Amino acid sequence: MAGLAFLEKKNTVARPGYSKWLIPPAALCVHLSIGQVYAFSVFKTSLVQRFESSQTAVAWIFSIAIVMLGLSAAVLGTWVERNGPRKAMVAAALCWGTGFLVGSLGIAIGSLPLLYLGYGVIGGIGLGIGYISPVSTLIKWFPDKPGLATGMAIMGFGGGALIASPLSNLLLGIYDPQFDPANSGNGASASALAATFLTLGLVYLVFMLIGAALIRLPQGFGDDATAAHQPGRGGALVRAKAAIRTPQFALLWVVLFCNVTAGIGILEQAAPMIQDFFRDGQDSSVSAAEAAGFVGMLSLANMAGRFIWSSASDRIGRKPIYMMYLGVGLVLYILLATFGQTSPAVFVVLALLIISYYGGGFATVPAYLKDLFGTLEVGAIHGRLLTAWAAAGVMGPLIVNGFLDRAGEPGSLVAEDYHPALITMVVVLGVGFVANLLVKTVDEKHYDAEAVRSHSGSGDHSDPAGEPATTGGTR
């Protein structure tokens, strides 16, 4: 369609002089918006009351969204790569915004399935496309610092929850003056909930479309056939279809799965966990308000870890930093199980470090993929790898809740009841550590012959800033 030509990949190429420092804010417009999903729990009480349903029935909305994130990123990764970041960001904005609008209608008419369809399925597709859409573009603009670049964007996914949580409570309070977010048993009215969904949907739609307008591909990347791709270690340029058949992809899938499983288990249980660790009989020395503060601090650590550790990986290398996430993380879990209950300060410091590694793992993985497979279809490969996130999102809470359900009723658990889950996470991290150690350079038989030929023949391996492209972070 001629009117939509500006969405085409070839029309998204930057003019000479376009600042590469406009690309991170463009990516952040998308990631800060879709990061709202981490704050979905602020609606939980209101939704349970609106639909007169169980907590589990409402929790399914979030689970569907996360599973759809993984599936859509995997299935549509190649589409995103072929069609460029702007078309992908617009598609993500439309899906994410529409998800909220359909969800709002579901709340208004009292249809929970419509909320599953809206926020869960349609919104979840927006999550998947939105998550991967700016990542490979950032790597192309910042070839020497892919960890820093993707860390900036993926930090936004963590930061999105920090914004969405108070913003949602603010909107619910405006639309329903009776609503008190400090009272956990008090939900907002159905009309306020529907109006908040509607408002958020429109705000996120506009914000993400601004990101789509700002995004550009570096010169030379408008046409896949002639693009100046940056090869990975050993000159690797591997297509997504071939990459998923390599042992490196399988090992990285295990690495990400283990890292996410361990982190998400704590994240999902954070508030009751800190109270249970300092429980004496029925009472805990940590109040509900303090537990909420702890959850906020974890969100900060999650966000900071995405930026700090991912940026650090540009200096110390991808494999060593995953040795830290998994190996030091493993030790931290043992320390948490052994000394966690000695003082809240010890517990908090250990948990913050663990969650910072969880965030770091997310943000560093695109750069790790770039090192191994090159930039040829790194976005599509990343999309497929995110299925590990979807699987871990189910597995992590299952492990923790499975042990806790057997230990006793919520509100009566103590630190020792968490030990089996924590030791299981130590084993999980150990498996991830070994998988990371086994990652080696991709065999040449997986390289895309045409891309390698065209790359070696072009003689132009410079990055957009005129600096030589890396050979893929050989550390």
Partner 1 sequence: MSTTQDDQSRTSGSTSPTSALVVTLAWLLVSVPLAYGLWQTLVKAAQLLG
In the complex with partner 1, the residue whose CB is nearer, 218 or 317, is: 218
Are 428 and 261 spatial neighbours (Cβ–Cβ below 8 Å)? yes
Binding of residue 25 to partner 1 (CB under 8 A): yes
CA-based angle 96:210:104, to the nearest 5?
30
CA–CA distances in Å: residue 52 to residues 43, 107, 249: 14, 12, 44
Single out the residue of 29, 89, 312, 422 in contact with partner 1 (rule: CB under 8 A): 29
Taking CB under 8 A as the criterion, the residue among 94, 105, 108, 210 binding partner 1 is 210
Q: Which stretch binds partner 1 (CB under 8 A): 40-48, 287-295, 324-332, 370-378?
A: 287-295
> Which one among 234, 296, 320, 420 touches partner 1, defined by CB under 8 A?
296
Sign, CA torsion 57/276/36/158: negative
Using rule CB under 8 A, residue 183 touches partner 1: no
Q: Which stretch binds partner 1 (CB under 8 A): 19-27, 277-285, 367-375, 404-412?
A: 19-27
Q: What is the maximal distance between C-alpha atoms in the chain? A: 72
106: nearest Cα among 47, 186, 181: 47
Residues 211-240 close enough to bind partner 1 by CB under 8 A: 214, 219-220, 222-223, 226
Rounded Cα–Cα distance for residues 469 and 465 (Å)? 10
Per-residue binder mask for partner 1 (CB under 8 A), 318-347, x = binder:
--------------------------x---
Nearer to partner 1, 280 or 460 (CB): 460
Tokens standing for 104? 């709002």
Distance separating alpha carbons of residues 330 and 429, to the nearest angstrom:
6
- Which amino acid type is present at position 13? V
- Tell me if residue 284 falls in helix, strand or coil: strand
Stretch that binds partner 1, among 56-64, 76-84, 155-163, 231-239 (CB under 8 A): 155-163
The site map against partner 1 for 400-439 (x = CB under 8 A) is ----------------------------------------
Residue 302 C-beta: closest distance to partner 1, Å: 11
Give the DSSP letter of residue 111: -
Handedness of CA 156, 158, 163, 164 (dihedral sign): positive
Which string of x and - marks every residue 118-137 that binds partner 1 (by CB under 8 A)? --------------------
Give the x/- contact pattern for partner 1 in 448-467, rule: CB under 8 A.
Answer: ----------x---------
Residue 156 binds partner 1 (CB under 8 A):
yes
Give the type of residue at 229. H
Distance CA 338, CA 261 (A): 20
What does R_g of the chain's alpha carbons equal in angstroms? 22
Residues making contact with partner 1 (CB under 8 A)? 10-11, 13-19, 21-22, 25-26, 28-29, 32, 156, 159, 161-167, 210, 214, 219-220, 222-223, 226, 286, 289-294, 296-297, 299-300, 344, 348, 458
